Amino acid sequence: MESASPPVPKAGAGLAARLGTFAASIREPAAPDAVRHRVRALVADVVATAAAGLTRPDIAVLQATYAIGAGPSSVLGRRTGFPPAQAAFLNAMPVAREQLQDGHRRARGHPASHVVPAVLAAAEACGADGPATLSAVLAGYETGVRIGLAMGGTPAGVHDIGTWATLGAAAGVAHVLSGGDAETIAAAIDSCAALTTVPDAAGVFDGWTSQNLYLACAAQTAVIHGQAAAAGLRAQPGTLERHFARWVAADQGGFSERLSALVAADDWTITQGYLKRHPTCALLHGVNDAVEDLATRPYRPEEIAAVTVRTYAAAAAFDDVLPRSEMAARFSIPWSVAAGLVLGTLRTHAFESGTLRGTAVRDLAARVRVEHDPSLDAGYPAGRPATVTVRFTDGTQLTASRDGAPRGDGPDAVDDPVVGRKAATLLTDAVGESGARAVLAAVASLGQDGPIPFGLVLRTLDVRRPS
């Protein structure tokens, strides 16, 4: 019989202890069908985005640099195994390269991208079956998002990758290693909270490639803390609220009360998350959706006199008209708008080096003006509001507005046709049709008892690495 909601722990427990009780009771086979479907979709999405990232020269070189060691856990495209923490590091490293990683809008971060690489590595090392693996992924996701929601985001200048979702991933690792022991999961959360990281947001938003290490280090950290908790290591109880929240929560006041309420809530946060449809920073997705509505065909740059984008404050800051790199272009509204209009889509070549060097998109990006519209601020983080107006040289104009959640976000995310094909499309491009089928079949097999073929599939994939 399906449970209608996540289990609710007894009242009065400390925060990590309450989260541990909450996470320990989560069993994926007992969850509603929509939740189970989303867990599998997220596992496939994370592996697919990792495969896409591995086709890039910078990631291929970086992965080869760190692919040292021997152990039981598999790495995508590597024939030999690695220690679990190292495997998590290597599998997480490429996930955000294309800016296609999953996310949770209200929690303001990327939970599955942390949880899946860490849990898969630990699960393979301890011989966990598919249901235990999926239960740990679900428990880690639900735990991390609740912490993120209670934080109200990170302080100005601090990026979310490596913060609350790392604690969720550590909880997931402890879940699979301990068979769902509440005290072990609580210990992993407080232990991970004791070594708080404050990643530099500017390094991400300005397109510096050091960001490729953020998820890698986070997943590795999660495995280490989950293993340490299972081995008996303990942090001071209350570290989550006393230390972690102090340095990483944007809204410290009431953190404990908010988290306590969230742990007792009767909803599943996993169906409230998103699978990215556009290869840009998620803050730009309302703008991207509006441009998609306008780009019924590719436009010649000379057809367009100017473009005005009005959006909320957090998105309006991404107004660089001349991004210095491919990664920086994925954080630029002028570039993504110009590329979407000129190419007719952001899903092919919009951020390739040849496009950045060419004049067509660059010329139009210089004519894109980004304006902060204070009236749209109230629509964030519940949505990604934006209005895009294109004025043509013949005097006509077109306008498209987006309000609420972007496409690919929320309960119906996987019903979006682009999102529904996303994993298969990315995998086919990276590892071929047979490789894509093998990965998707391995994800489906996670629902079965007994040994799972996931690691073997990852090892035998032939990634189309750059020459």
pLDDT, tens digit (0-9, with 9 covering 90-100), for 238-283? 999 999 999 999 999 999 999 999 999 989 999 999 999 999 999 9
Contact, 279 vs 340, CB < 8 A?
no
Same domain, 362 and 221: no
pLDDT the model gives residue 11: 33
Is pLDDT above 80 for 318? yes
On whether residue 4 sits in a domain, the answer given is no
pLDDT the model gives residue 450: 78
Mean pLDDT of 427-441: 97
Residue whose tokens read 């997943």 = 219
Mean pLDDT of 311-338: 96
Contact, 256 vs 15, CB < 8 A?
yes
Same domain, 235 and 312: no
Is pLDDT above 90 for 161? yes
C-beta pairs of 458-462 under 8 Å, 24+ apart in sequence = 458/47, 458/74, 458/75, 458/76, 458/77, 458/78, 458/91, 459/74, 459/75, 459/77, 459/78, 459/79, 459/80, 459/81, 460/79, 461/51, 461/76, 461/77, 461/431, 461/435, 462/77, 462/431, 462/432, 462/435
Name the more confident of 348 and 451. Answer: 348
Is pLDDT above 80 for 397? yes
Distance CA 89, CA 86 (A): 5
On whether residue 10 sits in a domain, the answer given is no
The values of phi and psi at residue 401, to 5°, are -125, 150
Same domain, 187 and 319: no
pTM of this prediction?
A: 0.95
Residues above pLDDT 70, as percent of the chain: 97
Domain that holds residue 247: 15-274+417-460
pLDDT, tens digit (0-9, with 9 covering 90-100), for 59-103? 999 999 999 999 999 999 999 999 999 999 999 999 999 999 999
Min mean pLDDT across 10-14, 64-68, 153-157, 421-425 is at 10-14
Same domain, 113 and 236: yes
pLDDT the model gives residue 451: 77
Query: 12 falls in which pLDDT band (50, 70, 90)?
Result: very low
Is pLDDT above 90 for 449? no
On whether residue 7 sits in a domain, the answer given is no
Helix ranges (DSSP H) in 179-250: 182-194, 201-205, 214-231, 239, 245-248
Distance CA 278, CA 330 (A): 10
Chain center to CA of 284: 15
Is pLDDT above 60 for 224? yes
pLDDT the model gives residue 3: 47
Query: 466 falls in which pLDDT band (50, 70, 90)?
Result: low
Is pLDDT above 50 for 10? no
Contact, 22 vs 185, CB < 8 A?
no
Mean pLDDT of the chain: 94
Is pLDDT above 50 for 317? yes
Same domain, 30 and 129: yes
On whether residue 467 sits in a domain, the answer given is no
Distance CA 295, CA 305 (A): 15
Residue 276 Cα distances to 89, 102, 143, 282, 388, angstroms? 22, 6, 21, 7, 20
Contacts of 219 (CB under 8 A, 6+ apart): 88, 89, 91, 92, 114, 117, 118, 121, 166, 169
On whether residue 370 sits in a domain, the answer given is yes
CATH of the domain at 443: 1.10.4100.10
Same domain, 175 and 317: no
CATH of the domain at 335: 3.30.1330.120
DSSP code string of 41-100: HHHHHHHHHHHHHHTSHHHHHHHHHH-----SB--TT-SS-B-HHHHHHHHHTTTTTTT-
Same domain, 179 and 59: yes
Residues above pLDDT 90, as percent of the chain: 92
On whether residue 6 sits in a domain, the answer given is no
pLDDT, tens digit (0-9, with 9 covering 90-100), for 356-379? 999 999 999 999 999 999 999 999
On whether residue 116 sits in a domain, the answer given is yes
Same domain, 96 and 148: yes
Same domain, 323 and 299: yes
pLDDT the model gives residue 348: 85
Same domain, 305 and 157: no
Same domain, 252 and 288: no
Number of domains in the chain: 2
CB contact burial 20-58 (16+ within 10 A = b; e otherwise): bbbbbbbbbeebeeebbebbbbbbbbbbbbbbbbbbbee
Same domain, 375 and 421: no
